[in-house]
């Protein structure tokens, strides 16, 4: 049987994509075959398609770091035909064909069963961004934070992970402060649950190594000077969960927040997280994320629209989450 896919090829330093028709023998090795229904466009996907970061390590390759669908065939224990499954990260869009296709063959240990509370579309409206947001919330909780601890800052608030982080935190009772470069979209952030919206430029320039205490914790997707300033303003025994580098991969800060205020910086990796951590995060998403808020963060596109949307993601012009209907 044939299936459609968005295939990335590289010539020199240029990455080009085309919608192609492939056959099952074109799939990569895996003990589970999935009829893919939906994928997503994340910041990492945008980096991969642009070539700005060497996400894709071998060409040609089907991009897409997320997928959700129904199992067609399985030789993996505990996974059976008909199961609704998802994959976030692992080798997708790096060394293994990803989610921008109507079919995938993957190792069974990469799969998480879609919680009953979600459709496949819902699962991809959450995707790596929302799953990463949940891992970040869990890190704040692990560090001892509760809603009574004080305000939680979310940087990159208009992005996919930021939007879902706001929805999760506000639903759990936290007072959330959203940092964004698009203040004109403050109403959207407040609909998700932000109590206050601040201009990202107040955090993005070089700052003092330690400053007035403002937030009990933070979820940061920006890195660089922003993360350094966030750490400098975290309250005593506060926690910061960091997973992004939209501003940069550097951290031009100081040890002072760590040794004077006992601040914890928790790194969040969603790509290689163990299965138990993934399952726990998805179980919490099923109970803690309000469906109405998820719907407000989401737009749906077809495969052919992925490159254009990816470019907009890099330009900071996409609000919330983008779901890819691979059959559209």
* C-alpha–C-alpha distance, residues 129 and 57, integer Å: 22
Residue 40 has a pLDDT of 97
Domains of the chain from N-terminus onward: 2-114+297-325 (3.90.180.10), 128-267 (3.40.50.720)
Residue 320 has a pLDDT of 85
pLDDT tens digits, 275-301 = 999 999 999 999 999 988 888 888 999
- 302 band by pLDDT with thresholds 50, 70 and 90: very high
Residue 293 has a pLDDT of 87
- pLDDT of 317 > 90? The answer is no
* C-alpha–C-alpha distance, residues 211 and 253, integer Å: 12
pLDDT tens digits, 59-116 = 999 999 999 999 999 999 999 999 999 999 999 999 999 999 999 999 999 999 999 9
* C-alpha–C-alpha distance, residues 254 and 260, integer Å: 11
pLDDT tens digits, 110-151 = 999 999 999 999 999 999 999 999 999 999 999 999 999 999
pTM higher than 0.85, yes or no? yes
15-19 own/partner pairs: CB under 8 Å, 24+ apart: 15/49, 15/50, 15/51, 15/56, 15/59, 17/49, 17/63, 17/306, 17/307, 19/303, 19/304
Chain centre to alpha carbon of residue 49: 16
pLDDT tens digits, 2-50 = 999 999 999 988 999 999 999 999 999 999 999 999 999 999 999 999 9
Residue 172 has a pLDDT of 97
Beta bridge partners of 21: 4
Strand 321-325 and strand 112-113: the pairing is unpaired
Question: Contact at 8 Å (CB) between 138 and 284?
Answer: yes
Residue 108 has a pLDDT of 96
pLDDT tens digits, 232-266 = 999 999 999 999 998 999 999 999 999 999 999 99
- Work out the number of other CB atoms within 10 angstroms of the CB of residue 12: 6
């Amino acid at each position: 049987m044939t299936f459609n896919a968005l295939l990335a090829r590289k010539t020199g330093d240029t990455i080009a994509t085309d919608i192609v028709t492939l056959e099952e023998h074109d799939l990569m090795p895996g003990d589970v075959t999935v009829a893919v229904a939906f994928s997503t466009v994340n910041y990492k996907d945008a980096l991969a398609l642009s070539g700005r970061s060497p996400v894709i390590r071998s060409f040609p390759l089907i991009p897409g770091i997320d997928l959700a669908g129904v199992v067609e065939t399985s030789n993996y224990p505990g996974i059976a035909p008909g199961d609704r499954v998802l994959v976030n990260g692992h080798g997708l869009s790096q060394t293994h064909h990803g989610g921008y296709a109507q079919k995938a063959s993957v190792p069974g240990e990469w799969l998480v069963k879609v919680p009953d509370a979600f459709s496949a579309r819902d699962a991809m409206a959450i995707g790596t961004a929302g799953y990463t947001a949940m891992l970040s919330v869990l890190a704040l909780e692990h560090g001892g934070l509760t809603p009574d601890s004080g305000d939680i800052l979310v940087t990159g608030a208009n992005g996919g992970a930021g939007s879902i982080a706001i929805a999760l935190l506000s639903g759990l009772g936290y007072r959330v402060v959203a940092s964004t470069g698009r203040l004109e979209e403050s109403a959207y952030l407040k609909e998700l649950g932000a109590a206050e919206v601040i201009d990202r430029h107040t955090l993005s320039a070089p700052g003092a190594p330690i400053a007035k205490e403002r937030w009990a914790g933070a979820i940061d997707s920006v890195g660089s000077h922003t993360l350094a300033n966030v750490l400098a303003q975290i309250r005593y025994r506060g926690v910061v969960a960091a997973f992004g580098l939209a501003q940069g991969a550097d951290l031009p800060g100081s040890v002072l927040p760590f040794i004077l205020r006992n601040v914890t910086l928790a790194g969040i990796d969603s790509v290689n997280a163990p299965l138990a951590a993934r399952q726990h995060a998805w179980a919490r998403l099923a109970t803690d994320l309000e469906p109405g808020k998820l719907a407000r963060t989401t737009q749906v596109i077809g495969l052919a629209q992925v490159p254009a949307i990816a470019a907009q993601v890099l330009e900071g012009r996409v609000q919330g989450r983008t779901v890819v209907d691979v059959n559209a």
